Structure formats: C-alpha cells, structure tokens
Amino acid sequence: SAKEQGMELNRFAHAMQMKAQERLQLENDLRKALDRGQFYLVYQPQVNLQSGLVVGMEALVRWQHPQRGSVSPADFIPLAEESGLIVPLGEWVLREACAQNKQWQEAGYRKLCVSVNLSMRQFRHSHLLDNINGILKETGLEPVWLELEITESMTFDKDRSFEQLRKIKEIGVHISIDDFGTGYSSLHYLKDLPIDRLKIDRSFVNEVMEDSNNAAIVSTITSMAHHLQLKVTAEGVENEDQMVFLRNQHCHEAQGYFFSKPIKAAEFEKQFLRDVDK
C-alpha cells in the first residue's frame, strides 16, 4: 500500500541520516586521531623471486580507534582524502616509515627499500617536494631507500603528473604504479612516464592458476615491464603455485600472505631482519 511504501521510505531516510551522522562522527574522530597517536604502521615484506631475499617492505597505515577498535584503511583513507586530512596523515606516514627504515639500517641490518602509498591529494599538493626533502633530511634516510606508490588514475593529468614525477625522480626517490591493470593507463604515455616499477594488482594474481585469462594478463604485464625496462612486483601472492608461476615469468618481486601479512615493526624485525644474513 501507499502507507507501507511511505514507511519504507521513512526507514530508508532514517538509515541514510544515520549513515551521514556516523560518517560525520568518524570524520571528527579522524581529525583528533593524529594528535592522539592512534595511528601506527604495519609492514609487509617484498621478496625477490630469484634470490628469495626480502628486499623491501610496504608500509601500511592502521587506525586503532578507542571504541571501534581497528578501523580498516579502506574505510578511513577515502574519508581522509575527502576531508583533506590525508595531507597531514600522509606526511606522518612518510616520516614514520623513513625513520623506521633508517633505524633498521643504523642497527646494521641489510638495507631494504620502504614503499609508501601516496594519495591523489598528497601527490597534487604543492608542498609534496618540500615535505619529501624535509623528511629525508630529518631522518637521514638516503632517497634510494624510499619508493612512492601512486595509482594509474593519478597520472591522467599528463603534463602536471609528468612534472611532479620528474621532480620526485630528481631527488633520487623511486616511483611505482600501484594496482596496475585496474585503471586505464594509456600505454602511449606509460612508456614516457618517469617511473621505476609496476605493481600488478592482486585481483589478477589471486586467480592466476585458476583462470587462464588472468595468467595471460600477468605474463603480458610482466613482459611489457621487461621491455620498458621497468621492475615488476606481483601483489597478493597467497600460495606457492602462484609464487612459482611468477618466478617462471621472471617477475622480479612479490608480496602477499604467502610470505607474510603486514605486521608491526617489532614483529617484522624479529621475522625478517634479526638473525637473517646481514
């Protein structure tokens, strides 16, 4: 009936309002979280498939919310991006990751490269270069031990992104294209982009053994990367079969639960740095 429909609509409006309120609440909490020290980083090892050695790690942010517990970055990164909070948060992540990497190097462990994700707003921000330079100086980390991950969609504005990437490369920091294959990169300008690495999205890697289309995509991206003289990393490697397939394709590096989930710094040090050949 019309009355039932009206009630249904009401419930819907109410649910929407709740969603909006909850969102607002989360955004308020997010605003305070940085000052209150509720963020921390976890690290996921990146393994060279020929040598089997850990050669790097990706830093991923976590938010320990006082009531909600651990909030997924999938939930708060978009919110931080929309509200602009991603700029100070991203700067904190970069500083923390560089400081940690430098600390491990000072401890005498074999040197690794740390990868940090950049969001669109951060990448476009006019202070990005100053921030990177400042943080490298402050922490003492040499630029070659830092890699910044951007996504294909961030390179749409060709002239602007070229200029920004060129300046980052000039510092000596590496750049990789994250989630490669899920965006709409024009191959025409991929060949000219000043980047070092493609990271094959985990959606292709996940079912590489079950779906021959995925296998074809993975091997095509890998061989293209070789031809363009780019490094290539496979994300989301969850089992040995996938790892062997990738190694046979001459994919350089891999990352995924097969090697390790992202873990806290102390745990990473224990598992992948301490007592491992220096």
Residue 62 to residues 71, 98, 103, 265, Cα–Cα distance (Å): 7, 17, 20, 12
CA-based nearest residue to 187, from 221, 212, 238, 140: 221
Instruction: List the helix and strand counts (H, then E) for the chain.
Output: 11, 10
Q: Taking CB under 6 A as the rule, does residue 72 contact ligand C2E? A: yes
Amino acid in the structure at residue 15: A
Comparison of 119 and 249: residue with beta carbon closer to ligand C2E: 119
CB-closest chain residue to ligand C2E: 256
Give the type of residue at 32.
K
Strands 54-65 and 69-71: antiparallel
117 scored as a contact of Ca ion (CB under 5 A)? yes
Binding test (CB under 6 A) with ligand C2E, winner from 1, 5, 70, 74: 74
Which of these segments, 165-173, 211-219, 235-243, 246-254, binds ligand C2E (CB under 6 A)? 235-243
Site for ligand C2E in 83-102 (CB under 6 A): 90, 93
Residue type, 185: S
Tell me the HSE value of 116 on the side-chain side, using a 13 A CA sphere.
24
Residue choice 87, 179, 204, 246 for contact with ligand C2E (CB under 6 A):
179
Residue 71 near ligand C2E by CB under 6 A: no
User: Rounded to an integer, what distance in angstroms lies between the CA atom of residue 13 and that of residue 29?
Assistant: 24
Closest approach of Cβ 117 to Ca ion, in Å? 5
Half-sphere exposure of 195 (CA within 13 A, CB side): 27
Interface with ligand C2E, residue 246, by CB under 6 A: no
Contact status, residue 209 vs residue 245, Cβ threshold 8 Å: yes
Q: What would the x/- binding string for Ca ion be over residues 165 to 194, using CB under 5 A?
A: -------------xx---------------
The separation between the first and the last C-alpha atoms of the chain, rounded to the nearest angstrom, is 74
- Minimum Å gap between C-beta 261 and ligand C2E is 7
Q: Per CB under 6 A, does 236 bind ligand C2E?
A: yes
Determine, following the binding rule CB under 5 A, whether residue 152 of this chain makes contact with Ca ion: no
Closer residue to ligand C2E in complex, CB, 193/254? 254
**Quick check: helix, strand or coil at residue 149?**
strand
Binding stretches for Ca ion (CB under 5 A): 117, 149, 178-179, 235
Binding stretches for ligand C2E (CB under 6 A): 44, 60-61, 72-74, 77, 90, 93, 117, 119, 178-179, 202, 236-238, 256-257, 262
